[in-house]
Amino acid sequence: MLAQQSFDAITSFASVNRDRPIQKGKAALLVIDVQNGTCGPEESTSRPEFREALTKRLLPNVSRLLRAFRMARLEVIFTVIENLTADGRDRSLDYKLSNMGFPRGSCEAQVISALSPQDDELILPKSSSSVFNSTTLDYLLRNMGIEDVFVVGCLTDQCIDHAVRDGADRGFYMTCVHDACAAETEARHEAALACFQGYCRMLNTEEVLRLVPGSRAS
């Protein structure tokens, strides 16, 4: 009897998978760290491979996704790297050692103008690589009834990686929109996708747009 119950419990999850439709009120677009301090002209010009991925892939595709999610009245959430204290003492040890962080309220901590958040969209300041570790994102997603999180932004092998893995471990259905993300190099971008693909559904922008209610994949 016990063996049968165990078998039934295991097989009951056989139909659970990430290939889910987008339901209104259940999905959110999470835009990670596309801000002046990391993606602005002065920052990205000295990183030609990242700059090309940013301008030719990430920004156009994130813009299309934002437009579709907003038209469908789906949640849009932004994160930015921003210290909560004047001297940055709230940052993670890794951010302190890496000298990563931007002053509270600074231009560097603002989302780039090409993707400006709208009035009622959440902007979460974070002081570590993982948005789930250094913000109230988990709490907010649960309060809003969100089950599916579509992740875009940068960097693929750092903050995107953390968001996907941590979100999956917390019970959210994670989707990485891989052509709306970027890393310092294409090699790092591709290597990261290969490493965390087991924690999420991998879709491109066109595939996501076809899932958004009322969206035109164009």
Residue type, 115: L
DSSP, collapsed to helix, strand or coil, labels residue 126 as: strand
CB-side neighbour CA atoms (13 Å) of 145: 6
pTM exceeds cut of 0.85: yes
Q: Is the pLDDT of residue 8 over 70?
A: no
CB-side neighbour CA atoms (13 Å) of 20: 19
Give the pLDDT confidence of 22-53 residue by residue, as tens digits: 999 999 999 999 999 999 887 667 789 999 99
In the chain, where the domains are located: 23-211
Query: What integer best gives the mean pLDDT of the chain?
Result: 92
Q: How many other β-carbons are positioned within 10 Å of the β-carbon of residue 46?
A: 8
CATH class of 23-211: alpha beta
Q: Is the pLDDT of residue 20 over 90?
A: yes
The pLDDT of residue 13 is 55
Q: How many other β-carbons are positioned within 10 Å of the β-carbon of residue 86?
A: 10
Q: Is the pLDDT of residue 194 over 70?
A: yes
Work out the pLDDT band at 217, boundaries 50, 70, 90.
low
DSSP, collapsed to helix, strand or coil, labels residue 30 as: strand
Calculate the CA dihedral of residues 133, 22, 14, 165 and round it to 10 degrees.
-20
Which of 146-150, 184-188, 214-218 shows the lowest per-residue confidence on average (mean pLDDT)? 214-218
Q: Is the pLDDT of residue 9 over 70?
A: no
The pLDDT of residue 218 is 42
Alpha-carbon distance 99 to 25, whole Å? 38
* Residues 97 and 88: beta-carbon distance below 8 Å: no
* Residues 135 and 129: beta-carbon distance below 8 Å: no
Interval 66-70 mean pLDDT: 97
